[in-house]
Amino acid sequence: MIDLHTHTFFSDGQLVPSELVQRAHAAGYSAIALTDHTDSSNIEFIVPNIVKVANDLNRSGNIRVIPGVELTHVPPDMIGSLTELARRLGAKLIVVHGETIVEPVPAGTNRAAIEAGVDILAHPGLISDADCRLLHNRGVTLEITARKGHSLTNGHVAACALKFDVPMVINTDTHCPDDLITVDMALKVLQGAGIPNGKTDDVFRQSQAIVNRLCKNL
């Protein structure tokens, strides 16, 4: 199992990074990204600390740990500059908190994330065909999520991704230990989103491809 969207106590998660990573390792995960919620108020605190702990944990070699951020509820016109800042500070993976239907995310967030060239657009809600076309052109990956609430639009997201040949990953958006899932459960979430059995392997391969690309220098 690979999970590219999780949270620690640096934002609203329950665990310190070391415990979250250890629990993921014990659950059979091969890689995990630490992507705490970030805006302009805390990005210069969170990213260096996540980078530091990821470097420490990667030395153990038990599981690949990717330092990242999730830009959350920020004004769309700030997403580009915060993406650049996060990368300069050492974040390897940039996730944007998309326009989920269960939170009042600013309209235009999905488009701004795509235009900024982030790595993953998380739980993008009722994403438009126009934005999916742009996703395909910009090489941004869409998230299918196991998280309650955000997962309500998984079927719409998957249908759009399949229609426009947009790569997908399956993430948990983990905030507590019970949010971690097995590969079998991840497969059920993908199937429940309407992704054909012949395409589910592509989702897992996309996660691995992202890890391979980001871990070259870790």
Beta-carbon contacts of residue 173 (< 8 Å; ≥ 6 apart): 5, 6, 7, 122, 123, 145, 146, 147, 150, 179
Q: What is the mean pLDDT of residues 46-56?
A: 97
Q: Work out the percent of the chain whose per-residue pLDDT is above 70.
A: 99
Q: What is the pTM of this model?
A: 0.97
pLDDT bucket at 82, cuts 50 / 70 / 90: very high
Q: Give the chain's domain count.
A: 1
Q: What is the CATH number of the domain that holds 6?
A: 3.20.20.140
What are 68's strand-pairing partners? 35, 93
Please write the tens of the pLDDT for every residue from 165-176.
999 999 999 999
Task: Decide: residue 29, CB within 10 A, 0-12 exposed, 13-18 middle, 19+ buried.
Answer: buried
Full domain range(s) for residue 18:
2-217
Residue 215 has pLDDT above 90, yes or no: no
Please write the tens of the pLDDT for every residue from 118-148.
999 999 999 999 999 999 999 999 999 999 9
More confident residue, 218 or 66: 66
Which pLDDT score, from 0 to 100, does residue 218 have?
Answer: 62
pLDDT bucket at 217, cuts 50 / 70 / 90: low
DSSP string, 9-20: TTTT-SS-HHHH
Give all strands (DSSP E) within 28-181, no chain letters: 31-38, 64-71, 93-97, 120-122, 141-145, 168-171
For the chain, what is the mean pLDDT?
A: 97
Residue 150 has a CB neighbour count (10 Å cut-off) of 24
